[in-house]
Homo-oligomer: A and B are copies of this chain.
Amino acid sequence: METPCMPALEMSPAVHATVVSDRREPAPGIVIVGVRAPQLAASIRAGQFVMAVPPSGERVSTALGVYEVEGDRVSLMLVVVGPRTRELALLSDGDSLALLGPLGNGFDCDSLGDDVALVAGGVGVAPMLLPARDLVARGARVTLYYGARTARALVDIALFEAVGATVVTATDDGTLGHHGYVTDVLARDGARHSAIAACGPSPMLRSVARVARQLDLRAQLSLEETFACGVGACWGCVVPLDRSSAQAPKFPDAAAGESRDYVHARICKEGPVFWAHELRW
């Protein structure tokens, strides 16, 4: 994952003391929080993430993708699932919020070809706006396959259309688009694509990997896992990865003669984006 879509200002990660500038709730339980974060906005690349420091302490930080980037402002999309996302969703204008970032290696947009399928499940849509924008900007055709439980949870479709992506939807309950999984639509219509980039819950990503194999396409998957440090220090967020992957950390065999063909890679450090065919799930 060497070349990002749009070469951003190369800057090492830092703690950014940001201030909330705006907040909207496009659907119940989904909150988009905008913050002023000039350095972060200047340096973040598609698919990288930040760690949000909990305003009250007492909990570990939360990994969040970066949704929009415009000028000095970046926004975060929160789906409230537990105490940390609940607390962050309560932030309002003027509140301060510390963010660590940019972290991890994002999507390698240059390797995705000219007709890219972006696949997003639920909050997995958050890190998809930046690659959609960047891919369109370099002339690629972009289709966003976007699935959620129900129509209301499919947020901001117009925003993706505005950056030039075609949006194909699916809902578990059939209230919008295909009635069923978005990966079914991908399997049916996806053969024409040059490559896939996906983000969403693990079961969806496994299904994307299967479909990609069937369609003989390469797929970049942004994995979800519970993080503690988010910076590669604790080895809490691993996934088994081909030893031959360019992203694989160097690691000796466990014992002489006992050669394993995979290593544990840190999702926060070597990822969060991996090539589907290199994962040993």
Q: A-side interface residues toward B, CB under 8 Å?
A: 56, 58, 83, 86, 90
Shortest distance in angstroms between A20's beta carbon and chain B's nearest beta carbon? 14
Chain B residues whose C-beta falls within 8 Å of the C-beta of A58 in the assembled complex: 83
Complex Cα gap A45–B233 (Å): 57
Residues on B with C-beta less than 8 A from A56 are: 83, 86
C-alpha gap A90/B89 in the complex (Å) = 13
Closest 4 CB pairs of A and B: A90-B90, A56-B83, A56-B86, A58-B83
Contacting residues, chain B, for A86 (C-beta < 8 A): 56
- How many chain copies does the complex carry? 2
- Residues on the B chain within 8 Å of A90, using CB: 90
Identity of the chain B residue whose Cβ is nearest the Cβ of A58 in the assembled complex: B83
Q: Which residue of B lies closest to A86 (CB)?
A: B56
Give the complex CA separation of A56 and B59 in angstroms. Answer: 14
CB distance from A59 to the nearest CB of B (A): 10
Minimum CB–CB distance from A15 to chain B (whole Å) comes to: 23
Residues of B within 8 A of A83 (CB): 56, 58
User: 4 A–B contact pairs at CB < 8 A?
Assistant: A56-B83, A56-B86, A58-B83, A90-B90
Once bound together, how far apart are the Cα atoms of A86 and B56, in whole Å?
Answer: 9
In the docked arrangement, what's the CA distance between A86 and B57, Å?
12
Q: A51–B83 Cα gap in the complex (Å)?
A: 22
A263 to B19: give the CA distance in the assembly, Å: 54
Q: How distant is the Cα of A83 from the Cα of B83 in the complex, in angstroms?
A: 14
A58–B86 CA distance with the chains assembled, in angstroms: 14
Complex Cα distance, B90 from A58, in Å, reads 17
Bound CA–CA A15/B90 (angstroms): 26
Complex CA gap A83/B58 in Å reads 10
CB distance from A81 to the nearest CB of B (A): 14
Closest-by-CB residue of B relative to A92 is B92
With CB as the reference atom, state the residue of chain B lying closest to A83.
B56
Q: How many angstroms from the CA of A56 to the CA of B86 in the assembled complex? A: 9
Q: A58–B82 Cα gap in the complex (Å)?
A: 12
Q: How far is the CA of A56 from the CA of B56 in the complex (A)?
A: 13
CB A71 to nearest CB in B, in angstroms, measures 30
A276 to chain B, nearest CB (A): 38
